[in-house]
Each structure stands twice: as structure tokens, then as C-alpha cells.
Homo-oligomer: A and B are copies of this chain.
């Protein structure tokens, strides 16, 4: 089983960016934890990060061909991107949306997710653990679908 993990815009700055909101863990550290859990679960992960909406759509389409499930944090595009919504709907593999912070407890315009309705589920507010739980979740989902 192969799971694609797709990080959205500005997540490459994690650990530096607004640490009171997003914590001091870096993206590299999160990726390391994801890889360790994947190995423990016996699945492969492919991880990428993009600042461009178009590049994220490309990554989703590629995951639709090469992966069995998607873990995606659309970050700033969460709230507005119909095109990412459409990409997630267009590919034949399930996705789980992930957020480091609890977006429902933040600014009004961060409380709406345009992309979540195209996902099987959403996990948010638990920092790096959001990714790890989503990895467990997508593995269970893919296995259940076989």
C-alpha cells in the first residue's frame, strides 16, 4: 500500500512561522515521524510540499494514479480552492484532510473548508499528531475498501 502525503503552502516554514499557533516542530521532523509510523504500519509513503495550487492539483492527480490513499493539508487553499476540491473528487482514491491547528476555533474565514467535502474525513487541532492519526485512518480506510 502506498499513501501520498501532500503538504500545502507555507508549511515548509513550520517551526519558524507563528510558533504560538503552529508550534516549533519543523516539517522535516513531522515527515520523519510520518515515515517512522508508515514503516511500523508496513505501508509506503510519498511526501511532497507545494506553495502553488496548480502543483498541488498535479500532485493529487499523480497520487490518483500511483497511490492508494491521500493525506492532504491544503493549508491556505483549504478555504477557497474549488480546483483542489475538484481534483480530490476526480481521483479514484480516498483522502483525509489534516490541519495542525483547530481551524474551527480560529478566524471566521478559516472555519470554512472548501476541500473537506471532497475528502472521506477530516482531522484537525492535534499538531503533528493530526498527520499520524490521518495515516492510521487512511490505511484502515483503504484496507476496509479492499
- Copies of this chain, complex-wide, total 12
For the residues of A in contact with B, the DSSP-based class is: helix
Once the chains are docked, how many angstroms separate the CA of A113 from the CA of B52?
A: 20
Cβ B54 vs Cβ A9 within 8 A: yes
Once the chains are docked, how many angstroms separate the CA of A129 from the CA of B16?
A: 30
A interface bracket (residues with beta carbon within 8 Å of B): 35 or more
In chain B, what residue has the closest Cβ to A50? B54
Distance (Å) between the CB of A61 and the closest chain B CB?
Answer: 7
With an 8 A cutoff between CB atoms, is A40 at the interface?
A: no
Once the chains are docked, how many angstroms separate the CA of A101 from the CA of B10?
A: 27
Distance (Å) between the CB of A5 and the closest chain B CB?
Answer: 16
- Give 7 pairs: A residue, B residue, CB < 8 Å, sorted on A: A9-B54, A10-B61, A54-B55, A75-B86, A76-B83, A80-B81, A102-B117
